[in-house]
Amino acid sequence: MNLATDSRIVMTLDAGGTNFRFAATRGGQPITETIALPSNADNLEQCLRNLVEGFTKVKALCPEPPVAISFAFPGPADYPNGIIGDLGNLPAFRGGVALGPMLEEKFGIPVFINNDGDLFVYGEAIGGLLPHVNGLLEKAGSPKRYRNLFGVTLGTGFGGGIVRNGELFGGDNSAAGEVWLLSNKLDRGCNAEEGCCIRAVRRSYGRQTGIPFDEVPEPKVLFDIASGSQPGNQAAAQEAFRRLGEVAGDAMANALTLLDGIAVIGGGVSGAWPLFLPAIVDELNSTYTGPGGNTFQRLSSKAFNLEDPAQLDVFLKGETRTVTVPGSTKTVKYDPLLRIGIGMSRLGTSEAVALGAYAFALSKLSNCHI
């Protein structure tokens, strides 16, 4: 399926706790202006009314009738059946709301709902980091190719998603990739999200400097302090982001042990990657110590920082060698360097989610994998 030349139109939605933003996509690109309406998170009737109004307005802007609606919505949810459960930032949905079936009945087209972390990774697998890396490998003359992508988003929370062989993996309960519930390396009694999100960075800086949490600047300002472009405690700001990287790296290592693929990072804190990505990769390449004092690598594969030119060069080259087939004069190429790459979003988080939503709808309608 070539998304860029696909003429079908899909209506999409960026659902936040404060605002809903509606648009339509064709060929993987937006074709309408964005319609913004308040989410009315505590009023179910008004919230549902605004959802219908938003899609109605976007449909009127479409040059042709849309074939589906596809969007990300917070969980917990029964995504395949379009039922939204008890949401923290949208309390009106508590008790379960059949949102997908309602919209299908109203607009007469299929409705697909997914988790935003899942759609982010799906978008990056289709048009972001995964094809980017495979393109670099091809250009470098390497036979190595990657088919699996794991991703996380670092922002208000800590989200994740998994794409395997071109297919989004949701799990039996629509709960795969819930990395926020992994353990927190620096606070084992707490979950990983509390160590690698916006509030975690602010909390760490506040503890180091004695500043009350409510008075700690937002991460963008802390990034500037850490970079030396704004006054403040530079060492504390740098340590706050390093700690985020250590916790995120520990959680990602647990996931990548099972998944074995490229990993992509996005989210609202991702712009500060120079301050935390090295710590993530260091954690992935850390070691365990056995009972006898022996050390061994935490992951079977070596992790490379794809944003570091020197590491990227080694990653692309590998260690290809030629070996002889026993009892024969034939030879085969062999690359013993087991490796995975960790890189930043190539599309931008919102753009990747939108592309993922569009592609997911078309793949379901066409009954194929991207």
| Structural domain range at position 157 | 120-193+242-346
The reply to whether 97 and 142 lie within a common domain is: no
The reply to whether 57 and 177 lie within a common domain is: no
Q: pLDDT digit of tens for each residue in the chain (370 aa)?
A: 688 889 999 999 888 767 888 999 999 899 999 999 998 878 889 999 999 999 999 999 999 999 999 999 877 889 999 998 887 767 778 888 999 999 999 999 999 999 999 999 999 999 999 999 999 999 999 989 999 999 999 998 999 999 999 999 999 988 899 999 999 999 999 999 999 999 999 999 999 999 999 999 999 999 999 999 999 999 999 999 999 999 999 999 999 999 999 999 999 999 999 999 999 999 999 999 999 999 999 999 999 999 999 999 999 999 989 999 999 999 998 899 999 999 999 999 988 998 999 999 999 998 755 5
The reply to whether 146 and 53 lie within a common domain is: no
Q: Is residue 320 part of a domain?
A: yes
Q: Within a 10 A sphere around the Cβ of 118, how many other Cβ atoms?
A: 29
Q: Within a 10 A sphere around the Cβ of 158, how many other Cβ atoms?
A: 29
Total of domains in the chain: 2
**H or E element in which residue 356 lies:** helix 349-366
Cβ neighbours of residue 31 under 8 Å, at least 6 residues apart? Answer: 9, 24, 25, 62, 63
The reply to whether 87 and 159 lie within a common domain is: no
Of 114, 142, 170, the residue that ends a domain is 114
The one-letter code for the residue type at 116 is D
The reply to whether 138 and 108 lie within a common domain is: no
Task: Supply the DSSP string of 73-94, one letter for each residue.
Answer: -PSSEEGGGTEE---SS-GGGT
Give the distance from CA 131 to its chain's centroid: 15
The reply to whether 41 and 100 lie within a common domain is: yes
CATH number reported for the structural domain that contains residue 161 in this entry: 3.30.420.40
